[in-house]
Amino acid sequence: MIYKYILLLMLNFLLLGGCNTAPPIPLAPPTEPLTLAEAAPAVEEETVIPAEPLKKVYLTFDDGPNSYYTGQILDILRDYGIKASFAVLGVNIDKNPDVLRRIMDEGHGIINHSYSHDYKRVYSSPEAFLKELERCNESIARVTGSGVKIFRAPGGPSNLNKKTLELLRQHGYISISWNVASADTDPNGVSKEQIVENVKRGILQIESLGKTPIVLMHDGTEINRSGAAPGSALANYIFNRESGVAALPEIIEFLMERNYTFAVVDENTPPAW
């Protein structure tokens, strides 16, 4: 009896010790380690929205270069980091070659606007118009090394008859007009606020027509600014030029707010109308 009791005690001891040394039972079969992609939380794919096409606007300044206002306009364009185009007269290039050189060096466009801007001379015949452009190109080339084929007719392309247009086409000239007028040549004088409003209204109208804005402003011809009698044509001309310079920053900021990029006139510029 005693032996039986001792035998039961030894058996119980062995069973209890074995429970402490037995390997754990796995809860699930082992698997390969997760890759980084598998371990990362799921992320929804980002929807790619195509970028809107660039909206171009062309700022153009006619009748320079002059020794006073053209430089002020160039300073403003530089400060905003944008480009414009200048429709230049040969007679003013000959007086201000350094100003034209600055226009070119700062990356702005150059448009041939005739040599004299004298309507009687320019529009006397198709050959006379061509001669005016070629003479202006000679002035441009003396400064820049080459002439340009983009031209703007004094007073606009409505002054060109079919014979003149055909002759110019034969010589490779391309006409550029405008579709937004600042009206900064009002002989009675125009204020900064009026110029800004004229351009804003014109931009909105052209947008509604689905056209690319080509804005007409003026840096103006070379003048003697001293001795202008109040109320005289010269005084009003000076007032207009100063109003245009003052209006330019607000016009640029308005166009920037509407997501325009500022382009330079070239052979790829779309027609105004």
Give the length of the chain. Answer: 273
Decide if pLDDT at 128 tops 70.
Answer: yes
- pTM of the predicted model, to two decimals? 0.81
Q: What's the CATH code, domain 55-262?
A: 3.20.20.370
* Distance from C-alpha of 12 to C-alpha of 102, rounded to nearest angstrom: 107
> What is the spatial distance between Cα 249 and Cα 80, in angstroms, rounded to a whole number?
8
For residue 18, pLDDT over 90 is answered with: no
Per-residue pLDDT, 7: 42
- HSE of 230, CA atoms in CB hemisphere, 13 A: 0
Check whether 271 has a pLDDT greater than 90: yes
Residues 6 or more apart from 108 whose CB is under 8 A from it? 74, 77, 83, 84, 85, 86, 264
pLDDT above 90: residue 131: yes
Is residue 82 within 8 A of residue 76, CB to CB? The reply is no
DSSP 35: P
For 172: left if phi > 0, alpha if psi spans -120 to 50, otherwise beta; the answer is: left
Calculate the alpha carbon distances from 176 to 22, 24, 99, 114 in Å: 95, 89, 22, 13
Return all residues near 219 (Cβ < 8 A) that are at least 6 apart: 61, 62, 63, 64, 65, 66, 69, 70, 73, 86, 241, 244
Listed in order, strand segments (DSSP E) in the chain are: 55-64, 85-88, 109-112, 150-151, 174-175, 180-181, 214-218, 260-262
pLDDT in tens, 65-100: 999 999 999 999 999 999 999 999 999 999 999 999
Does 119 have pLDDT greater than 80? yes
List pLDDT tens digits, range 150-172: 999 999 999 999 999 999 999 99
CA distances from 93 to 84, 111, 267 (A): 18, 12, 22
